[in-house]
Amino acid sequence: MSSPGRPPAGEGMYSHLLDEDGTFTIEPAVGVRPGFRPVRPLAVAQPYCLATFCLVALSAALLVAVIIVTAQHQKNQPQGGAEESSSSSSALQTQGQNVSTLVASIKKLQQEKQQLQQEKQQLQQDKQEKQQLQQDKQQSQQEKQQLQQEKQQLQQEKQQLQQEKQQSQQEKQQLQQDKQQLQQEKQQLQQEKQQLQQEKQQLQQDKQQLQQEKQQLQQEKAELLSRLSATKGPEVIGQQSSGPPPTLLPCPDGWHTFNSSCYMVSKTSKSWSGSKDDCSSKGGHLAIITTAEEQSFVWNLLPRGHWNAFWFGITDQDTEDQWTWVDGTPLVGGFWEVGEPNNHIDEDCGYIVKTRVLSRVAIRSWYDAPCSMDRRFICELERGGGANSAATTTSPH
């Protein structure tokens, strides 16, 4: 029951609600807009439900008490007389006011109940969100652990890579040192190479000069011998033996005689080895030319042409630049053209060239060429006996 000067029953009933542990307080503030709901933690859902139930039960008990009091008062009204009727009327008015107050309190409680139910629903939603957040937290913790493991693995890989990097840097430094050493050795070798090339050029110049001097001397010798032969006839100049000359076999048909040998110029072309075999089949060998007189004789046998080339018995197939005759004796001197032999394309066999150029002479007519080329050739056949017989031949072609 409410009294004048005091707020109606139930008003401000929840103005202060404090949990036993003092962790939560509801204080409606003045001036706060309607519908404002403070955010409550999920832990206060159960106390709110209990408070709501208690308020509903209290309201129902008050309503029942008012109804019972009113009924008893109506039963006792006729016995009280007129005086009592006035007091009863005031009591009824007071009770009506109390009932109205209680009805208003009940409505207010119902509104608060609805509000509490809404808050309950909100708390349940918050609870679900909390559960979802807990699940997310657990998942995040698992992901965190996974990331930590991956981090540790990456740190190990990083350490491994750092070690490999250090090793690579050491190897790089070693390679740079080796490179510098090799560059120094290269520079040294290049200097030695340049020095050797200079020495080689000097030797080649000396060699060419000596060859030119040698060829000049051979040419002068050949000219002197030619003049001497012209003054004394076609006989070969040489030391005369004290005894009778030895009997020499005559040359076969088609062969030309010079001293103790017969010479034949082939009409067919073969390789150097084929030419050698052909001469051997005839009992001779490829021509061996050791003197300027013999070179001039053989030269005069050859016909002129654009580039008439003839194999003879000289080669360096066994050892490069060590020319030997077919009988195994080494070459001494020779009648090479200037710049020959040059072994330009694996040229290991010698041939004589006679062209239409009249300035080309016998003592500079030897060249080297690949042995596989087909050319005409010159065979020589030993007659036996001495070496001082006269030279007999047909006219040169």
pLDDT tens for residues 144-199? 999 999 999 999 999 999 999 999 899 999 999 999 889 988 988 898 898 788 88
Query: Is 61 a residue whose pLDDT tops 50?
Result: yes
pLDDT band at 271 (very low <50, low <70, confident <90, very high): very high
Average pLDDT, the chain: 79
How far, in Å, are 10, 299, 355 from residue 360 at the CA level?
149, 11, 7
Q: At what angle do helices 81-232 and 45-75 cross, to 10 degrees?
A: 160
- Dist CA 78 CA 129 (whole Å): 65
Query: Is 37 a residue whose pLDDT tops 80?
Result: no
Residue 137 C-beta-side C-alpha neighbours within 13 Å: 6
Query: Is 318 a residue whose pLDDT tops 70?
Result: yes
Peptide linkage before 341 cis (omega within 30 of 0): yes
- Of these ranges, 83-87, 341-345, 352-356, the one predicted with the greatest mean pLDDT is 352-356
126-135, 157-166, 242-251: which range is least confident on average? Answer: 242-251
pLDDT over 90 percentage in the chain: 41
Integer distance in angstroms from the first to the last C-alpha of the chain? 167
pLDDT band at 388 (very low <50, low <70, confident <90, very high): very low
Give the position of tokens 């029953």.
9
pLDDT band at 279 (very low <50, low <70, confident <90, very high): very high
Query: Is 389 a residue whose pLDDT tops 70?
Result: no
pLDDT band at 238 (very low <50, low <70, confident <90, very high): very low
- Residue 338: Cβ within 10 Å count: 9
* Predicted local confidence at residue 230, as pLDDT: 52
Structure tokens at 291: 């003197």
Task: Pick the more confident residue, 271 or 57.
Answer: 271
Query: Is 267 a residue whose pLDDT tops 60?
Result: yes
Q: Under a CB-based contact definition with an 8 Å cutoff, are residues 45 and 123 in contact?
A: yes
* Predicted local confidence at residue 152, as pLDDT: 92
pLDDT tens for residues 370-385? 999 999 999 999 986 4
* Predicted local confidence at residue 203, as pLDDT: 82
